């Protein structure tokens, strides 16, 4: 794997695909080949090879790069090819059993596996007739890990994917490695590598191991930035379509989905999670720790909860999550990885319906502060909205904003009896009363059930679990004027905010379920020596006008000369709503000689 920055997801929903459209629960633009993929949602990545014997350390020296990707040690530490092969002697072949990886994947609730059949080191984990740089020719046992894994996947009903490094090959004299930026190859030399190794090895993989469900390429830049030509990539994809017509191909082939709609799914960057709902298949490759290959000095372990949230978050945006294991040289999966996978598997045994075959709902992804939503239509045409609650409210009430349709039933997914939870529904707001104890330590799932797809109102600021409304520049309906957005600074001690120099206008909508008086607190920084500027807030029939008082400075970190502007959130006034309904909250801010740094408005019932 390579730490990389793939093009932003934002705006990609406008892409028009020349694909066969099928009526999936989760997303619209998915071809027939990829239907299983969008239903599966959760897969296993396996990084295992010669590098597993080094464990991230060569001759007492840790890999020469701060990203600590152990599978890159051949290149990073400038190891000679013959010395690198000596790492095979550290593998205990009597213990390596790929079926154990498959069994772990099945217990974890994963539906497919992708093995690094050839990583950037160019070494094949199958008996390749193209080159003797493979596992059968370089070991006494003459194992074929691809064949063994393929057999185990068929036995246990797991889809099989193979990773093949096509662009980079550190072992072939004409393969690409990054030193070619200094010592370049000719196009003819690279094509010799391509035609003599890549194409025939891919033919072997696609011919000798039964059905291959996906080929996962790992080119993290567009072909226009590399030595590879588009014709070479089309040749490779055409070979796959010829030999395995139903095999999926990912965008790290080097062809973007925009330029070739025959690419089946987009691959995001390493450990890059989704940001936007997309209507075509996509996937995040992720690690349980940091390195992909096994690293003996690994210390950056992610919690089970964070991994599960990554899976749920991706599914809530129509995405998949492929979580990596890096087995040791003897095939053992580190306890820190296996235990987390088993815990996720136990969660999926109970809550799998909210993941498999489920996808995005139509409300904004961060609408609610309690978690995420996924959605599916069952075989009997019942529409289920799954509320993944990460932080069980101490008030035992769960506010859900933006759903116009009253649910016919609400219950906990973990409850086999589906005992109904009490709830009230008012126009676009549902309040669910939860039991005192949450059913799951990782993420509890509440089901809202409907006879048809529920109607929504998507432009509302949701009431949060504290009972208030946080009106921010990120959830406005509209804004205009003289302002610029400033990201947080000084490690977040200066929060993200708007710098207003002139006039700024913005608008929010909220649904008031409980009429009465609401206080409004405005968070801002104003560095003038005396009051100035002005803010005007209109909410229903209420109008509040006030000038800004100086907030002065504060100390961000003691004894470090870390003096920063202070943001304060004093009560600016109160408004009264006389009846339930949707209200507009409009704001006009005028600055004078000193900019107004505006952060948010907090509205809470008194």
For the chain, the residue count is 606
Assign 2 a pLDDT band (cuts: 50, 70, 90).
Answer: low
Opening angle at CA 220, ends 130 and 366, nearest 5: 140
Assign 424 a pLDDT band (cuts: 50, 70, 90).
Answer: very high
Assign 28 a pLDDT band (cuts: 50, 70, 90).
Answer: confident
pLDDT in tens, 73-93: 999 999 999 999 999 999 999
The whole-angstrom separation of Cα 606 and Cα 518 is 5
Asked whether residue 439 carries a pLDDT value surpassing 50, the answer given is yes
The whole-angstrom separation of Cα 284 and Cα 305 is 17
Query: What is the average pLDDT value for the chain, to the nearest integer?
Result: 94
Coil/strand/helix, residue 176: strand
Which residues neighbour 387 within 8 Å (Cβ) at sequence distance 6 or greater? Answer: 370, 371, 373, 398, 400, 445, 446, 447, 448
Assign 8 a pLDDT band (cuts: 50, 70, 90).
Answer: very low
Assign 27 a pLDDT band (cuts: 50, 70, 90).
Answer: low
The whole-angstrom separation of Cα 119 and Cα 201 is 13
* CATH architecture of the domain formed by 468-605: Sandwich (2.60)
* CATH architecture of the domain formed by 373-450: Sandwich (2.60)
Q: What is the pLDDT of residue 67?
A: 86
Return the number of other C-beta atoms located less than 10 Å from residue 350's C-beta.
16
pLDDT in tens, 11-22: 333 333 333 333
Assign 30 a pLDDT band (cuts: 50, 70, 90).
Answer: confident
Q: What is the pLDDT of residue 346?
A: 98
CB-CB contact of 516 with 605 (8 Å):
yes
Distance of CA 504 to the CA centre of its chain: 34
What is the mean pLDDT of the segment spanning 385-400?
97
Residue among 469, 361, 471 nearest 405 (CA): 361
The whole-angstrom separation of Cα 477 and Cα 475 is 7
CA distance readout (Å), 590 to 383, 481, 520, 537, 546? 47, 10, 18, 12, 11
Q: What is the pLDDT of residue 106?
A: 98
The whole-angstrom separation of Cα 408 and Cα 548 is 48
Asked whether residue 26 carries a pLDDT value surpassing 70, the answer given is no
Torsion of CA 290, 293, 298, 303, to 10 degrees: 50
Q: Helix, strand, coil: what percent of the chain each, to 5?
A: 25, 30, 45
Q: What is the pLDDT of residue 19?
A: 34
Q: 29-354 and 373-450: same fold?
A: no
Asked whether residue 194 carries a pLDDT value surpassing 80, the answer given is yes
Domain ranges for the chain: 29-354, 373-450, 468-605
Q: What is the pLDDT of residue 1?
A: 64
Coil/strand/helix, residue 152: helix
- HEC letters along 452-476: CCCCECCCCECCCCCCEEEECHHHC
What is the mean pLDDT of the segment spanning 111-135?
97
pLDDT in tens, 504-553: 999 999 999 999 999 999 999 999 999 999 999 999 899 999 999 999 99
The whole-angstrom separation of Cα 146 and Cα 132 is 16
pLDDT in tens, 573-601: 999 999 999 999 999 999 998 999 999 99
pLDDT in tens, 234-286: 999 999 999 999 999 999 999 988 899 999 999 999 999 999 999 999 999 99
Q: What is the pLDDT of residue 290?
A: 94
Assign 360 a pLDDT band (cuts: 50, 70, 90).
Answer: very high
The CATH classification of domain 29-354, taken from the options 3.40.50.1820, 3.20.20.80, 3.30.9.60, 2.120.10.30: 3.20.20.80
* Torsions phi, psi for 116 (to 5 deg): -75, 80
């Amino acid at each position: 794997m390579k730490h990389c920055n793939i093009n932003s997801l934002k705006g990609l929903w406008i892409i028009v695909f020349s694909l066969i459209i099928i009526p999936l629960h989760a997303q619209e633009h998915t071809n027939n080949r990829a239907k299983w993929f969008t239903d599966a949602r959760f897969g296993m990545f396996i990084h295992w090879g010669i590098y597993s014997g080094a464990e991230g350390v060569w001759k007492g020296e840790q890999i020469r790069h701060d990203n600590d990707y152990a599978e890159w040690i051949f290149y990073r530490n400038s190891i000679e090819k013959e010395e690198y092969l000596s790492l095979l002697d550290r593998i205990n072949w009597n213990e390596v059993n790929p079926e154990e990886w498959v069994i772990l994947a099945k217990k974890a609730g994963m539906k497919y596996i992708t093995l690094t059949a050839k990583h950037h080191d160019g070494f094949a984990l199958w008996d390749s007739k193209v080159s003797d740089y493979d596992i059968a020719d370089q070991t006494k046992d003459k194992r074929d890990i691809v064949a063994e894994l393929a057999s185990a996947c068929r036995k246990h009903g797991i889809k099989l994917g193979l990773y093949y490094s096509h662009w980079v090959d550190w072992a072939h004299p004409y393969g690409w490695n990054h030193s070619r930026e200094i010592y370049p190859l000719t196009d003819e030399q690279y094509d010799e590598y391509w035609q003599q190794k890549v194409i025939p090895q891919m033919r072997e993989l696609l011919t000798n191991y039964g059905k291959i469900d996906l080929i996962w390429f790992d080119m993290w830049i567009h072909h226009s930035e590399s030595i590879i030509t588009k014709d070479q990539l089309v040749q490779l994809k055409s070979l796959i379509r010829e030999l395995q017509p139903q095999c999926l191909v990912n965008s790290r082939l080097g062809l973007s989905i925009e330029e070739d709609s025959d690419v089946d799914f987009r691959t995001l960057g390493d450990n890059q999670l989704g940001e936007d709902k997309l209507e075509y298949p996509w996937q995040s490759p992720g690690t349980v720790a940091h390195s992909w290959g096994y690293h003996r000095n690994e210390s950056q372990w992610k919690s089970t909860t964070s991994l599960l949230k990554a899976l749920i978050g991706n599914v809530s945006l129509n995405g998949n999550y492929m979580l990596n294991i890096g087995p040791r040289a003897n095939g053992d999966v580190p306890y820190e990885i296996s235990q987390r996978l088993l815990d996720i598997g136990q969660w999926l045994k109970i809550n799998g319906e909210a993941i498999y075959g489920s996808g995005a709902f139509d409300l904004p992804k961060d609408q609610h502060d309690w978690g995420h939503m996924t959605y599916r239509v069952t075989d009997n045409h019942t529409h289920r909205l799954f509320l993944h609650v990460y932080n069980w409210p101490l008030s035992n009430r769960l506010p859900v904003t933006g759903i116009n349709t009253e649910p016919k039933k609400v219950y906990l997914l973990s409850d086999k009896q589906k005992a109904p939870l009490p709830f009230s529904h008012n126009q676009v707001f549902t309040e669910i009363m939860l039991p005192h104890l949450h059913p799951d330590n990782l993420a509890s799932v509440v089901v809202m059930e409907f006879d048809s797809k529920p109607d929504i109102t998507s432009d509302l600021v949701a009431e949060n679990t504290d009972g208030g409304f946080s009106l921010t520049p990120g959830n406005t309906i509209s804004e205009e004027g003289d302002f610029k957005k400033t990201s947080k600074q000084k490690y977040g001690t200066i929060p993200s905010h708007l710098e207003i120099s002139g006039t700024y206008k913005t608008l929010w909508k909220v649904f008031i379920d409980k009429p009465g008086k609401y206080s409004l607190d405005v968070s801002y920084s104003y560095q003038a020596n005396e009051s100035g500027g002005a803010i005007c807030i209109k909410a229903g029939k209420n109008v509040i006008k006030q000038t800004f008082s100086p907030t002065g400075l504060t100390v961000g970190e003691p004894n470090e000369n870390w003096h920063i502007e202070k943001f304060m959130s004093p009560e600016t006034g109160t408004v009264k709503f006389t009846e339930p309904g949707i209200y507009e909250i409009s704001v006009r801010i005028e600055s004078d000689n000193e900019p107004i740094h505006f952060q948010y408005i907090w509205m809470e019932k008194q």
